[in-house]
Chains A and B, each alone.
Chain A
Amino acid sequence: MKDVLTENAVTSHTTKISARKVQVFYGTNHAIKDVDVEILDKTVTAFIGPSGCGKSTFLRCLNRMNDTIPSCRVEGSITLDGENIYDKRVDPVQLRAKVGMVFQKPNPFPKSIYDNVAYGPKIHGLTRNKAELDGIVEKSLRRAALWNEVKDRLQTPGTGLSGGQQQRLCIARAVATNPEVLLMDEPCSALDPIATAQVEELIDELRANFSVVIVTHSMQQAARVSQRTAFFHLGHLVEYGETGQIFTNPRDPRTESYITGRIG
């Protein structure tokens, strides 16, 4: 455990996303209270906490997926590279091309593997011809460590893959638009240990190009893949710091109780 933690030292100190005094309301329910977070570039940041603590809600604020919920209201400021993403002039469509997302349950489109990956680049007009698109599809599938398994059956349905392959396909789809930040909402909760290991390895590789934010219920996973960890409890950000410090020397008693299994 100790070895892994020292290996995953933080390598960047550039702030990618900065959240200040973020409040989220679902109707009258105050779900997120006063959250301040600096998410660093080329770093894996893990959000941990008991169910219903607001970590997924906060994650969905980062690419404005909460806009699709009518009763949801966000206050405070979240900036991406210094630009407020909740500014009236920001089109969420453009934002989501920059901040990709992978969901809890693998949700490939009921289309071919190729079309799944090519969809994002197509709608954002990232390519000029078929050859470029083929290139992006291959590169994305390689990044998601899926290319060797599917290169001979790109035209078969994406829904026909196994659960772990589907989740990697979703990751390939998310990286195909060349985002700057990748949000992952419990990406391994529907996967078996082998597929989980593959996806975790992948997350570590993706860190070279993206800033990755991952919500997870597994503290081992947070310890394995992340460099920084944020602990959420009842809508509050209790503690945020380097993963090694959070797990070995938490400052807040609540964090300590959670990671030792006494609450949650």
Chain B
Amino acid sequence: MTDITASQAAAMPPSTSSLLAPDARVRRRNAAEARFRSYGLAAIVLALMALVWLLFSIFGAGLPAFRQTVIQFPVTLEAGKLDKDGGRDPAALAKVTTVTYAKVLSASLKAAIADKGIQAEGLTDKQITGMFSQEAPAMLRRAVLADPGLIGQTITFDAYAAGRIDGYYKGRVTLESASRDSNVTPEQLHLADALKEAGMLSTPFNPGFLAMPDASDKRPEAAGLGIAVLGSAYMMVVVLVLSLPIGVAASIYLEEFAPKNRLTDLIEVNIANLAAVPSIVYGILGLAIFINMAGLPQSAPIVGGLVLTLMTLPRIIIPTRAALKAVPPSIRDAALGVGASKMQSVLHHVLPLAAPGILTGMIIGLAQALGETAPLLLIGMVAFVRDFPAAPPAGLFDPASALPVQIYNWTQRGDPGFVERASGAIIVLLAFLLVMNAVAIILRRRFERRW
């Protein structure tokens, strides 16, 4: 030992450089370090800029979806038109179609325009009717069917404005573009401006966007996220209820109890591989097993939940096992040393210590499942659904939509109003994810407080 150091000392001449002046090697090293730090900083700045740009574009396009232009005017519900025999018989009332209600609305709007002294010459009846959405007569009809006592009265009604009129107040439609548009004329836009001046037209917050079901291609103004939100919520409940116990139990078994042999090695490798399988493959699996073999209904949240559970499980098992592995073995020894059984040491000591990590993995898995679209397309959740699913558990078997599928669906449609709707739905989806992450952070804090 002493020989070696002696010979090395002989080979290396004593340093003569000053400590105050860095030598070339140190300068190179410092420059490399500075360079490396600037790469990192540049990467973060780039990522932040991308995020800001993304949020800016989504919020810019999506926020108008939460507001809706409505035309408010008194509607006289003439008994002569809506209930010809005067019996207020529900069956007879239900026979009156939206066409009649559209006529009633149109007549009332015309009367209101004349009443306010607004010039509406040059506008045909059809153009007047075209001021409000095709959904407006349907909404009026639903209100009357729900309360036949309204017939014969004059009520104040908020009619959804037509999509193009709505777009005019959101910057989508201009007088110039209207002159080339077969769906709207500049005269109608002038009338809308006059209505606005008279206080009949406004663009308030629209709860219908969150509560109403999807609507057809022609009426983006009436399309809402109600069923999609409900369907996504049902699926998340299914995923949580199934994947949390199965995932945690599987992780605990593999990490703490399973013998280390070829079979468990094989299982481990396959779990890692399954986490990387494209999600659409799970959709095909779900279609084959749950719908074709088990005969579960299509478009149902239960099937969506099962497919997403299959997809989420490996993504939960991997972080859960990592969290269990991170618990120091001394804790297990300590528990066994005082005579705890294997299960007691896991349940009393290891699991609580691993809980923050498990929760984080769980929430990330759920968030991925919430945003997953491809497997749901294959099991029919892309269908056009107008009827709300029932309350669970029966509602789990009713057709429903899901948030990401609804977004995908809306981006496929022609009317520019749906671009705004799709962006608005993305905002709702992001809000859901934020809430889930907040819950994860709160839960983690609470568990971590137990030292």
**A interface residues (Cβ-Cβ under 8 A, vs B):** 63, 65, 68, 70, 93-97, 100-103, 105, 107-111, 119-120, 123-124, 157, 159-160, 170, 173-174, 176-177
Contacts of B60 in A (CB 8 A): none
- CB atoms of A120 and B338 under 8 A apart: yes
Contacts of B31 in A (CB 8 A): none
**B interface residues (Cβ-Cβ under 8 A, vs A):** 259-260, 328, 330-341, 344, 348-349, 353, 450-451
Contacts of A110 in B (CB 8 A): 331, 353, 450-451
Specify the chain B residue showing the minimal Cβ separation from A108: B334
- CB atoms of B353 and A107 under 8 A apart: no
A63 CA / B339 CA spacing, docked (Å): 10
Contacts of B328 in A (CB 8 A): 107
Q: Name which of B260, B333, B450 has the most chain A CB atoms within 10 A of its CB.
A: B333
- CB atoms of B339 and A109 under 8 A apart: no
- CB atoms of A96 and B259 under 8 A apart: no
Rounded to whole Å, the gap between the CB of A114 and the closest CB of chain B is: 13
Question: Main SS of the interface on chain A?
Answer: helix
Contacts of B259 in A (CB 8 A): 70
A219 CA / B450 CA spacing, docked (Å): 40
Known: A93-B339, A96-B339, A176-B338. 17 other contacts (CB 8 A): A93-B341, A96-B337, A97-B338, A97-B339, A100-B337, A103-B330, A103-B333, A105-B330, A108-B334, A109-B334, A109-B349, A110-B331, A110-B353, A111-B450, A157-B451, A174-B338, A177-B338
Query: Which 9 A-B residue pairs are closest in the complex by CB-CB distance?
Result: A97-B339, A107-B330, A101-B337, A120-B338, A96-B339, A110-B451, A157-B451, A107-B334, A93-B341
Across the A-B interface, how many residue pairs have beta carbons closer than 8 Å?
A: 69
- CB atoms of B451 and A70 under 8 A apart: no
In the complex, 23 of the A-B residue pairs with CB atoms within 8 angstroms, ordered by the A residue number, are A63-B337, A65-B333, A65-B337, A68-B333, A70-B259, A93-B341, A95-B339, A97-B339, A101-B333, A102-B337, A103-B330, A103-B333, A107-B328, A107-B330, A109-B331, A109-B334, A110-B450, A111-B450, A123-B338, A124-B339, A160-B451, A176-B338, A177-B338
- CB atoms of A100 and B338 under 8 A apart: yes
Contacts of B260 in A (CB 8 A): 70
Contact of B335 among A70, A109, A170 (CB under 8 A): A109
Contacts of B332 in A (CB 8 A): 68
A108 CA / B333 CA spacing, docked (Å): 11
Contacts of A157 in B (CB 8 A): 451
A123 CA / B260 CA spacing, docked (Å): 29
Contacts of A174 in B (CB 8 A): 337-338
A159 CA / B330 CA spacing, docked (Å): 13
Contacts of A108 in B (CB 8 A): 334
